[in-house]
Structure 1
Amino acid sequence: MKVFLCITIFTVFLQPLSAQNTDSLENLLTSGISDSQKKDILIELCKEYRDSNPNAMRLYAEELVTLSKKDTTSNSFAWAHYYLGDYYYLVDDFDKTEKYFLSAYEIFKNRENSIGALMSASSLANIYFFRDRYKTALNFAESGLDLAYVMDDKAQQSNLLALICDIYTYMERYNLAIQHCIQSLKIKEEMEIQKGKEITLNTIGLIYQELGTYKKAKEYLFEALALARENGEPYNIATTHSNIGNYYLATGSIEDALQSFQSAMKIDSSSQDKTGLAYSFYDIGKVYLLKDELTKAIENFKKAKELADEQNMPELEARIGLEMGGVFITKSEFQIAIQELKNSVTIAQKINSSGILKDTYQKLSKLYDKMGDKTNALIYMKLFMLESERKFKEENIRSIAEIEALYNIDKKEKEIDLLKKDNAIKELQAEQRSFFITALSIGLFLLTVLLIILYNRNKLKNRANKALNEQNKAIQEQKEEIENQKEELAATSNKLVDKNQEVTDSIVYAKQIQDSLLPQLQTIKEVLPQSFIFFRPRDIVSGDFYWFTQIENKTAIAVVDCTGHGVPGAFMTVLANSLLNQIVLETGITSPDLIVSLLDQKIQQNLHQQQLENANTDGLDIGLVLLDPQNKTIEYSGAKIPLYHYQDNELQVIKSDRNSVGSTQQLNKSFTKKEIKYKPGDMIFMSSDGFQDQFGGPKNKKFMKSNFRKLLSKIAEKPGQEQLNCVEEQFIKWRGSNPQTDDILVIGFKLN
């Protein structure tokens, strides 16, 4: 179970600021007061009704929006959006919650309203944490913490430190998590606050459990349970029971674990906490799996999955898929197990959960080995090893970052104390400096005026004497300068010609290297006799390339369009070509969606795109086909490059995924595989976007996709060489006297 702090922080922030009861406030609304006073009362009513009547809070917030809509940058408009966000949080509409909190945060921040900005930042941090967007949650939590330090708000410092501890825990950065948890507890102890301490104690217990220090884990978890019961918050009691259940699982006490999970479920059910119920069903399913009661395990996992899907909990869905895979492996229902595990892989890739990916790859490897499929067993073992290696590298980077962060945490409190002392000193120094600067400025101004007067008098005297001499000299100098410029221009022209030739020679040599990386046309024609490749770089070297190989009984062919053209594009083609060979030839992977997904990860790793400070967005589009002649099937995956399949006199467009390969600008990327049955005589086409984007024709417009599809349909029945001739003739005719817009690559082959 997770997401402790959403409820705690919201309720702490939203304590009513006034002791006036709601009746008197509502009566004031109907009296003859100004709009400004009315806005203040509406804000107060939103606070008062937050816990007792959320619908009333929403109505007053909407009335506040109407009153404030003439100035959408006002504090009252921001508070209206804040409380609307709070309402939608309470009714589980998290998209609207995020939208309204973000709006409030931006207004408060621009108006330098520290209280509003602190509340909005903290609320956003909780929402993003709930939705498994840990980096974004961390950014808002740290922004809120900085404001809490400036405002010297100890209570919110404690709450936000505890939230950051939770975030770091889910990011598996345990050293930083412990540091923030302990700081949070210290503040609560100084202020003698008991409420919310059980949350932090739970988190510390979970960290110790994850690290294998079970004695310390038990100590913190049972202390948390006692405190949760004392404070009487059902959510926190249920969560602690759930955490204790997982502790019992880790230490082998299965019956005790089941009892703890059932206690959590009872509380979740009575409080109608669907998120908690999802975790409780999942946890109980794990217990029944360990007890070999598979029917009960499946029943609980399915209930957990329904709730996880309903509540938008992708991480839990991925974990359920991993466990369900294990159930069906035990039942020897291998195809269902594969389906569950691959679904888990897809979700884990979307949310970038390295731990779940690693475990799922390992389980798939063991499953295929058990089925006797050594090829896939090896593929998934290599994927498991690649993910382990990536995680190891990330952990090393984290360790370095944590050392620095620990130092910064220790400095922060000292810096705040020093800042307060420095402010008083600086104010006194500023007054003295202001007086000195004023006096000095007046003196400098008077001195400057005197110097200007003396300089102008001397200048007028000398100007007349020099004018005649300068005219004579100018005539002679111009004559000499013209002669010199002629010589310099001739020399510069010669140098530019030589330099241009050197650069051209280098690029031509680079083209020879690039051409050597491309597969030989003769090799392709041996496998696909009726095929053609129309390849025309815009410059000498190209950002497009084609790739071809045979692995086992399949033929792989790809069209790749890298970022840029010319020399920059050529550099990317070399990297992409090398990575494709590494992924396919070294690992033996033959599933195109996995190949494209791994290519995406490896380009990000090689170009260091996952580092936050790196703005590199280079990448590529790809269309990848694996042809299986034995089963008469084509497996295709595409990133912005579609597949054209001509069958029975009709051209079908198999759409690609909308994500590019490489670059971290697109979040939650996934690449899908499409399987197509073909008949002998069918044609397959793939193309980069260069042909379609070429300007020309009678109106000097782009060729466009529709015309390109008509061209493919027109040539599909012709032999390979005639198809190439038609494509080339159409391109030359359309382009006319226009320059070539982009690199162009079109591939077509007939299936035998």
Structure 2
Amino acid sequence: MIKTRLLLFLFFFSLSLSTKAQSPAYIIDSLRVQLKQAKSEEEKVGIYSELTWFWAMVNLDSALSYGNEALELAKKTGDQTKIAQAHSDLGNAYNQRGDFAQAKTAYKTALTIRTSLADSAGMAGSKSNLASIHQRLFQTDSAMMYYVEALAYYEKTGNDRYVNFVKNNLAVLHEDLRNYPKALELYAEVAEYREKNQMIPDLAMLYNNIGNIYKNTKEFDKSEEYLNRALENGLKAGDSLVISVTYLNLASMYNAAEKPDQAIAAAQIGIKIAEKVNSQYDQAMMQYALGNSYLKKRDYLKAKAAYQSAIGVLEELEAKEEVSSIQLRMVPVFAALNMPDSAQYYTDLYIDYRNDLTEEQIEQLTAELQTKYETEKKDQEIAQQQLALRNKNIQLYGSLVLALTLAIVGYLLFNQQKLKNRQLQQEGELKAALAQLETQNKLQEQRMLISRDLHDNIGAQLTFIISAIENLKYFEPIKEQLTARYDSIANFTKQTITELRDTIWAMNSGQVTWESLTLRIQDYLQKARESKSSIQFDCLIEENIDRESKMNSSDSIQILRIVQEAVQNAVKYSDASRIEIKFHATKKDFVGIIHDNGKGFDQGTILLGNGLYNMQKRAEELGGKVEIKSGLGLGTSVKLSWPSK
């Protein structure tokens, strides 16, 4: 099961053979001039290759167009080195566009050609590029293998620039694995080199990655600082793609920091920039970020539209991991929109996608191990031919080959079982989550049914009783004898309706804010003022209580009933001119005090009745207690305290 998190977009470097100091637009104009002046096809191929690279920073459609021109011209010349470079440049453009399948094919083709040419430097570059694709597809084992092979070559040849690039990508890989201390350690080494050499675009990418780590560790101030640094460097470099990615990361960070309005603003700017460079993946991921923002704001229709827009593009790009994450987010959106069929539909899609992903991972691992096995098998055949000439070593080499074969088969079986176990665990977690969601939905339906029955049946009956009583008051033969009694019954029935409405309010709310509870108390006090105009009623919530914080509806009704009981007693017995209600918070508890300035009573001589007993029972339901303090001429205070949950 995918953990609930917003997916990060981490920029992965592709390696280029030239230093890029000027802005992409300036270099493109210069290359266009050189292209017009070029005399040979070999010279034009090199210029087309450079144009492909730099257009990838400005407009991906143009980059792909020049890349295909470079490939066709390279094939015409028959120069295998240039053909491999053209495939590599096309892979970079597809990578930036988010078409990872096409990028992977292009990079593999380049690696095959460079391997046949024994081009060690080119092979290392292709391996680094392939690693970035595997990393984006969450295939960490393959990514780590290619990065380590590329890093070994660059360290051996002393190519500090490329060592820096690969170390950055290894840091990103550790970040994907949530090994944040190791990732930050590698990023610090990478940053030192780039700042020293004024690698502006590369610094922008690096600051993006560091900002995302601090977002994940919930250090949002640091995250915002580094992402703003990334934006500043991206603007300085004139790299629209980096700027687009930075706005995406800013939107993700603001969502994580519970700042949906700022996230929406960042995503909307990012979408315009991504459209400019035609980065379909970035556009889709920013729609995803918008959906998360609208979901936090409970604007479910806009959230649905944004999620569906993102899914449409990501499905075309075959970004299955991202698609499955969005499908899971769609479930609560449709549940909130009271569309259970759609919620179930996206739940089923999510399960199917997770199964497909697991099967693909198993197939890939099996294919890789099969390739290793076949390689070892060929080595075994060669060894057997050599052993035929050296009879003394036949038994030794045969044992070694057998042991190696058994190790490979055992490794294959172990990893297949491990993947199956992981799939079963994910399915179990998903079923548990769905069962919990179904239980919550059923509880909500029961609440609505009970509250509707209370309102439609009991409420209607009480209203009918009031109407009947009011009419009987005017029945002349018994009008004088029963008017007082009818008034008493009518008032009691009205009070019952009020309490019934309070109960329905609490049941429908599910979660109640302090602001909502305060309004309910003030509504009750207003009715008390109308019946007892000689008393001043006040209600105060102190600043150390967040009015938007929530409590269970069952807790809110207990608090309301205790306040009503205390106020009712004060009105009846205290002869007070003022009744004051205050709420405040301590480190561990919430405290409510209902105080009147009435005549008070001697606690030692007065026997407290059912009212206090009811208040104490309600306080116990809250996990708290009720205390009463009074004295003759000192008024009365009822103190309610309960744990702040």
State the TM-score, normalizing by the size of structure 1. 0.46
Distance of 1:383 and 1:290 partners within structure 2: 26
**Mapped pair 1:339 → 2:313:** no
Q: In structure 1, how many angstroms separate the alpha carbons of the residues matched to 2:274 and 2:335?
A: 31
Q: Is the 8 A contact 1:326 1:337 kept in 2?
A: yes
Confirm or deny: 8 A CA contact 1:145 1:161 kept in the other structure.
Answer: yes
Q: Which moved more, 1:337-346 or 1:87-96?
A: 87-96
Does the alignment pair 1:193 with 2:159?
A: yes
User: Partners of 1:51 and 1:371 in 2: how far apart?
Assistant: 47
Alignment of 1:63-78 (within 5 A): 63-64=37-38, 76-78=40-42
Question: Partner residue of 2:214?
Answer: 248
- Aligned twin of 1:166: 132
For 1:411 and 1:234, locate their aligned partners in 2 and report how far apart those are by CA, in whole Å. Answer: 49
Contact between 1:9 and 1:122, CA under 8 Å: does it hold in 2? Answer: no
1:223-263 C-alpha deviation (Å, 9 max, x unpaired)? 22223223331111111111111112222222221121111
The answer on whether the counterparts of 1:165 and 1:178 sit within 8 Å (CA) in structure 2 is yes
1:304 equivalent among 254, 267, 270? 270
Whether the 8 Å contact between 2:215 and 2:256 is mirrored in structure 1 is no
Distance in 1, Cα, partners of 2:24 & 2:322 = 38
Q: Structure 1 counterpart of 2:51, which letter?
A: Y
Deviations 1:70-95 (A, max 9, x none): xxxxxx32542441453364343443
Q: Does 1:216 align with 2:223?
A: no
Instruction: Give 1:248-397 correspondences, 5 Å limit.
Output: 248-397=214-363
- Answering whether residue 16 of structure 2 is matched by residue 9 of structure 1, we say yes
Residue identity in the other structure for 2:127:
L
Using a 3 Å threshold, how does the CA distance of structure 1 residues 55 and 282 change in structure 2: closer, same or farther? closer
In structure 2, stretches of 5+ residues that fail to align are 1-8, 384-645
Q: Distance in 2 between matches of 1:182 and 1:88?
A: 28
Alignment equivalent of 2:34, drawn from 26, 39, 60: 60
1:619-669 per-position Cα deviation (integer Å, ceiling 9, x unaligned): xxxxxxxxxxxxxxxxxxxxxxxxxxxxxxxxxxxxxxxxxxxxxxxxxxx
Cα offset, 1:140, TM superposition: 2.5
CA separation of 1:220 and 1:370: change in aligned 2, threshold 3 A:
same
Match of 2:91 in 1: 125
Question: Which gives a bigger RCO, structure 1 or 2 (Cα 8 Å, sep 6+)?
Answer: 2
In structure 1, C-alpha distance between the alignment counterparts of 2:24 and 2:189, rounded to whole Å: 31
- The CA deviation at 1:181 is 0.5
Distance 1:406 1:183 in 2: 16
1:108-154 Cα deviation digits (max 9, x unpaired): 34544233223222222222222222232223222322333344433
List aligned pairs for 1:641-720, cutoff 5 A: none
Instruction: Give the corresponding residue for 1:183.
Output: 149
In structure 2, how many angstroms separate the alpha carbons of the residues matched to 1:411 and 1:79?
Answer: 45
> Using the alignment, how far apart are the partners of 1:138 and 1:332 within structure 2?
39
The CA distance in 2 between the partners of 1:409 and 1:251, in whole Å, is 43
Distance (whole Å) between structure 1 residues aligned to residue 116 and residue 217 of structure 2: 44
Summarize the Cα distance change of 1:93–1:293 in structure 2 as closer, same or farther, 3 Å threshold: closer
> Any residues of structure 2 matched to 1:556-705 within 5 Å, and which?
none
Secondary structure (helix, strand or coil) at the match of 1:9 reads coil
How big is the shift at 1:50? 11
2:134–2:142 Cα contact (<8 Å) kept: yes
Alpha-carbon contact 1:50-1:57 (below 8 Å) kept: no
Distance in 2, matches of 1:211 and 1:411, equals 34
Cα-to-partner distance string for 1:181-235 (whole Å, 9 max, x where unaligned)? 0111111110111113222112212222222333332332322222322333111
Cα distance change on mapping 1:97 and 1:292 into 2, 3 Å: closer
Does residue 86 of the first structure (1) align with residue 93 of the second (2)? no
For structure 1, the 5+ residue unaligned runs are 16-48, 68-75, 419-752
Whole-angstrom CA distance in 2 between matches of 1:114 and 1:411: 30
- State the AA in 1 paired with 2:165: I
CA contact (8 A) 2:13 2:129 kept: yes
Deviations 1:42-93 (Å, cap 9, x if unpaired)? xxxxxxx9998543432332343xx5xxxxxxxx325424414533643434
TM-score with structure 2 setting the length = 0.53
CA distance in 2, matches of 1:408, 1:194: 36
How far off is 1:354 after superposition? 0.8
- Aligned equivalent of 1:400, options 366, 390, 394: 366
- Given that 1:85 and 1:96 are in contact with CA atoms closer than 8 Å, whether structure 2 keeps it comes out as no
Instruction: Report the Cα distance in structure 2 between the residues aligned to 1:236 and 1:411, rounded to whole angstroms.
Output: 44
Change (3 A) 1:411 1:200: farther
> Contact conserved, 1:62 with 1:84, CA < 8 A, in 2?
no
* Structure 1 residue 106 displacement after superposition: 3.9
Does the 8 Å contact 2:42/2:77 carry over to 1?
no
User: For the structure 1 residues 379 and 187, does the alpha-carbon distance in structure 2 shift closer, same or farther, using more than 3 Å as the test?
Assistant: same
Q: State the shift of 1:322 in Å.
A: 1.7
Aligned mates of 2:262, 2:11 — CA distance in 1 = 27
Higher helix share: 2
Say whether the 8 Å CA contact 1:175–1:402 is kept in structure 2. no
- Deviation string for 1:717-751 (max 9, x for gaps)? xxxxxxxxxxxxxxxxxxxxxxxxxxxxxxxxxxx
Would the alpha carbon gap of residues 372 and 100 (structure 1) be closer, same or farther in structure 2, given more than 3 Å must change? closer
Hey, what's the Cα distance between the residues in 1 that align with 2:352 and 2:191?
40
Separation in 2 of the partners of 1:240 and 1:278? 15
Q: Report percent identity of matched pairs.
A: 15
Looking at structure 1, the residues matched to 285 and 25 of structure 2 have their Cα atoms a distance apart, in angstroms, of 34
* Structure 2 CA distance for aligned equivalents of residues 162 and 176 of structure 1: 11
User: Separation in 2 of the partners of 1:406 and 1:51?
Assistant: 45
One-letter amino acid of the counterpart of residue 256, structure 1: K
Report the counterpart of residue 106 of structure 2 in structure 1. 140
Work out the number of aligned pairs and report it: 371
Distance 1:277 1:369 in 2: 36
- Give the secondary structure class of the aligned counterpart of 1:223: helix
CA distance in 2, matches of 1:93, 1:58: 15
Deviation at 1:268, TM superposition (A): 0.9
Structure 2 letter corresponding to 1:257: S
Name the stretch that deviates more: 403-412 or 362-371. Answer: 403-412
Q: Would the alpha carbon gap of residues 407 and 78 (structure 1) be closer, same or farther in structure 2, given more than 3 Å must change?
A: farther
SS of 1:303's equivalent? helix
**Structure 1 residue 340: deviation in Å?**
0.9
Following the alignment from structure 2 to structure 1, what is the Cα–Cα distance between the partners of residues 374 and 82?
A: 26
Amino acid at match of 1:217: A
Amino acid in the other structure paired with 1:364 = M
